[in-house]
Amino acid sequence: MSISRSYVNAFILLALSSAALGSPVLAQDSTLAATPPMGWNSWNHFAGRVSDADVRAAADALVSSGMRDAGYIYVNIDDTWEGTRDAQGVIQTNNKFPDMKALADYVHSKGLKLGIYSGPGPKTCAGFEASYQHEDQDAKSYAAWGIDYLKYDLCSFRNIMRQQAPHDQEKQNAMMKEAYEKMHKALLATGRPIVYSLCQYGWDDVWKWGPNVGGNLWRTTDDINDTYTRMADIGFSQLGLAKYAAPGHWNDPDMLEVGNGGMTGDEYRTHMSLWAILAAPLLAGNDLSKMTPETLSILTNKEVIAVDQDPLGKQGDRASAVGMTEIWTKPLSGGAVAAGLFNRDDAEHSVTLHLRDIGFEAGAKVRDLWKHEDVSATHGSYTVTVPPHGVVMLKVSR
Ligand code: GLA
């Protein structure tokens, strides 16, 4: 057993014994989701149609496109893989997924990890079997299959909350937290490191209690869709959440829509840049086997990905807003700062970044992360024209 593996096991034991003593549940280990998870999820493109073949094709494409090597490691199956339970209550896959263990083996053989989806209610959002009263059994099945990531979606548990605590919001919130903690304990008990993704749309300020129930990430909003309006509504509304993000614990403004066809290149660059500044999980949601060169270049911009994945693990926030333009900044390791100059208007605008506003002197190094070139800010500011719904993404360092 390697040192790091035994350290992880010791940490899990510590977490289990502290859970048994009733103290707060610790995250599974300090290395799980040390930076925001990156990968792919089936929902935004395939929704209820996803099959074993689609997941294998996504895994193949992650490798052949270079996305895996850019950091996209998780291959996450969303809703609609679930079958019924056998006589012992063990969850089965449906006929779109003939053999989940074989699929996990295939995904692992590519140097990738496999994610799955369930929820604390009796049914998932798409009406498939979920984990209510089968949490331990399901966690064991996931571990036995070789699952590395679980997205756990509230959905029909809301009905249970309403039935059991009608008109008592406080009690309902407590039930919700308990349900999330229950699955976390079940995952811990398997001994397999499984990233735990809470999906309950931000209810009851999940960012304040997500870590206490074992969440590595938690959705902060309702669902995204492939329109500029919805993406911008979600992304630019993440004000004030930065202090709740840290290594192992991330705010999740939902998965990427880059490449799904509903936005322009500038809009998708805004999406990717904003998510990087938010230290958001980068879960591509497009059909990876049919990507245009532009889609691939947006998803694999290494300089933008490095902002998202910066080891300091600080989420960015809005620094200023003038009319329909906004500057968002994110502290990076080594004293650098990423700055997104966003234009939310339908017409182009000139935007100026004053270096002293973000703690730098004239002469600091300024780099344009989409053009991949250094730009000049010798007089202490940088002024640039930003296209409609577009962004200029900069990294400033000494
Ligand atoms: C909810 C979630 C989505 C997706 C669907 C699946 O709407 O928020 O991300 O998982 O359920 O049914």
Reported as a single tens digit per residue, the pLDDT across 227-265 is: 999 999 999 999 999 999 999 999 999 999 999 999 999
Maximum Cα–Cα distance across the chain: 74
Query: Where residue 29 falls among pLDDT bands split at 50, 70, 90?
Result: low
Is the shortest distance between the CB of 326 and ligand 1 below 6 Å?
A: no
| pLDDT score of 23 | 38
Whether the per-residue pLDDT at 291 is higher than 60: the answer is yes
Of 308, 342, 357, which closes a domain?
308
333 and 189 inside one domain: no
301 and 203 inside one domain: yes
Of 308, 335, 369, which closes a domain?
308
Strands in 337-343's sheet, in edge-to-edge order, are: 317-322, 325-331, 337-343, 391-397, 365-368, 373-375
284 and 337 inside one domain: no
Output the domain CATH number for residue 254. 3.20.20.70
Q: Looking at the annotation, which residues are catalytic?
A: 153, 223
Residue 222, number of CB atoms within 10 A of its CB: 12
Whether the per-residue pLDDT at 278 is higher than 90: the answer is yes
Pocket test for ligand 1, best of 49, 50, 125, 154 (most atoms within 8 A of CB): 125
131 and 110 inside one domain: yes
Cα-Cα-Cα-Cα dihedral sign, residues 116, 119, 124, 125: negative
386 and 281 inside one domain: no
Closest CA to 115 of 302, 350, 283: 283
269 and 339 inside one domain: no
Of 283, 308, 333, which closes a domain?
308
Nearest CA to ligand 1 atom 11: 125
Query: Where residue 31 falls among pLDDT bands split at 50, 70, 90?
Result: confident
Output the domain CATH number for residue 328. 2.60.40.1180
What tokens were used for 212?
A: 């206490």
Tally of domains within the chain: 2
Backbone angles phi, psi at 88, to 5 degrees: -90, 0
285 and 347 inside one domain: no
Nearest CA to ligand 1 atom 6: 79
Average pLDDT over residues 63-84: 98
200 and 347 inside one domain: no
Atom of ligand 1 nearest to the CA of 126: 12
Is the shortest distance between the CB of 79 and ligand 1 below 6 Å?
A: yes
Whether the per-residue pLDDT at 330 is higher than 60: the answer is yes
Give the whole-angstrom CA distance, residue 114 versus residue 237.
Answer: 30
Whether the per-residue pLDDT at 266 is higher than 50: the answer is yes
Task: Supply the mean pLDDT for the chain.
Answer: 94
355 and 241 inside one domain: no
182 and 287 inside one domain: yes
Reported as a single tens digit per residue, the pLDDT across 114-143 is: 999 999 999 999 999 999 999 999 999 999
* β-pair type (91-93, 373-375): unpaired
Check if the beta carbon of residue 236 is closer than 8 Å to that of residue 344. yes
The residue type at 333:
S
Atom of ligand 1 nearest to the CA of 223: 8
80 and 218 inside one domain: yes
Q: Which residue did the predictor score with more confidence, 71 or 16?
A: 71
pTM: 0.93
Whether the per-residue pLDDT at 293 is higher than 70: the answer is yes
Average pLDDT over residues 350-375: 97
Highest mean pLDDT among 20-24, 27-31, 282-286: 282-286
Reported as a single tens digit per residue, the pLDDT across 145-182 is: 999 999 999 999 999 999 999 999 999 999 999 999 99
List the domain range (segments joined by +) for residue 368. 317-397
116 and 193 inside one domain: yes
| pLDDT score of 299 | 99
